[in-house]
Amino acid sequence: MLVREILDKQNHSAEFRDFAQAAGGNTIALGGPLATPLTEEAALIEKLRDGEDPAFEQMVRKFGGRLLATARRYLGSEDDARDALQDAFLCAFRSIGNFKCNSQLSTWLHRIVINSSLMHLRARKRRPEAEEAQIDKLLSQFEPIGSWIGEWTGAVPPHISLEISESKAMVRRCIGRLPDSYRIILVLRDIDELSTEEAASILGLTSNAIKVRLHRARLALRVLIEREQAL
């Protein structure tokens, strides 16, 4: 069954309830009362390695909702996000034998979804010079050292505002308006909380380039937030 069909059939509250139960480490015993109990996640991994189709559907049901939200943050488009998620799950199913179990299954899947989303973004082939023009237009209101020329009424930095519930919807809209190459770095560092080195490895950039783009992305986000608040 395709990932899209599984996601469309299930109830979102059930998705997150199943995910929470899996994260809680429920255990089931395999092979009789004397068998060593396996966590639910370990049992799922074992079934996936055996190539069981129901295990694939179980994986999608458990982790699909949260991972779809991750893909949306990178791609914006619902159709693109679902395509990226489907590619990610198929990749995970095929490469489960390489999973070393040195992290949670959800963490491993999360990285695969990020990579799949970035591959879909690269396929759009947006011109880098056009993105630079977009970001430069936003940053024209800043001094070269990064200070705000005009009056700034928001006391909380944009990347901190992400954690403030009443600002989330507005901040998400503003993040969506950033050029892709800057939005990706902002999401990787400030939302998905990857380190500078991890983001650099994923994007094939230097750590210094990540730091510079992240700084510029935060400044540009600040401009967009200021404009949104002024409406």
Q: pLDDT above 90 covers what percent of the chain?
A: 35
Does residue 136 register a pLDDT over 60?
yes
Q: Where are the domains of the chain?
A: 3-123, 128-230
pLDDT grade for 122, boundaries at 50, 70 and 90: confident
More confident residue, 103 or 111: 111
The C-alpha atoms of residue 202 and residue 194 are separated, in whole angstroms, by: 10
> What value does the mean pLDDT take over residues 62-81?
91
> What value does the mean pLDDT take over residues 200-217?
92
Give the per-residue pLDDT at 230: 78
Structural contact between residues 46 and 37, judged by C-beta atoms closer than 8 angstroms? no
pLDDT grade for 26, boundaries at 50, 70 and 90: very low
More confident residue, 22 or 81: 81
In three state form, how does the secondary structure of the chain look?
Answer: CCHHHHHHHCCHHHHHHHHHHHHCCCEECCCCCCCCCEEHHHHHHHHHHCCCHHHHHHHHHHHHHHHHHHHHHHHCCHHHHHHHHHHHHHHHHHHHHHCCCCCCHHHHHHHHHHHHHHHHHHHCCCCHHHHHHHHHHHHCCECCCCCECCCCCCCCCHHHHCCCHHHHHHHHHHHHCCCHHHHHHHHHHHHCCCCHHHHHHHHCCCHHHHHHHHHHHHHHHHHHHHHHHHC
The C-alpha atoms of residue 92 and residue 99 are separated, in whole angstroms, by: 9
CATH of 128-230, one of 3.40.50.300, 3.40.50.2300, 1.10.10.10, 2.40.50.110: 1.10.10.10
- Residue environment code for 8-41, b if the CB has 16+ CB neighbours within 10 A, otherwise e: eebeeeebeebbeebeeeeeeeeeeeeeeebebb
Give the per-residue pLDDT at 4: 67
Does residue 143 register a pLDDT over 90?
no
Q: pLDDT above 70 covers what percent of the chain?
A: 65
Of residues 83, 87, 124, 119, the one with CA closest to residue 204: 119
The C-alpha atoms of residue 203 and residue 194 are separated, in whole angstroms, by: 12
Architecture of the domain defined by 3-123: Orthogonal Bundle (1.10)
151-204 tens-digit pLDDT? 334 444 555 555 545 567 788 888 888 888 899 999 999 888 899 999 999 888
Amino acid at site 215 = H
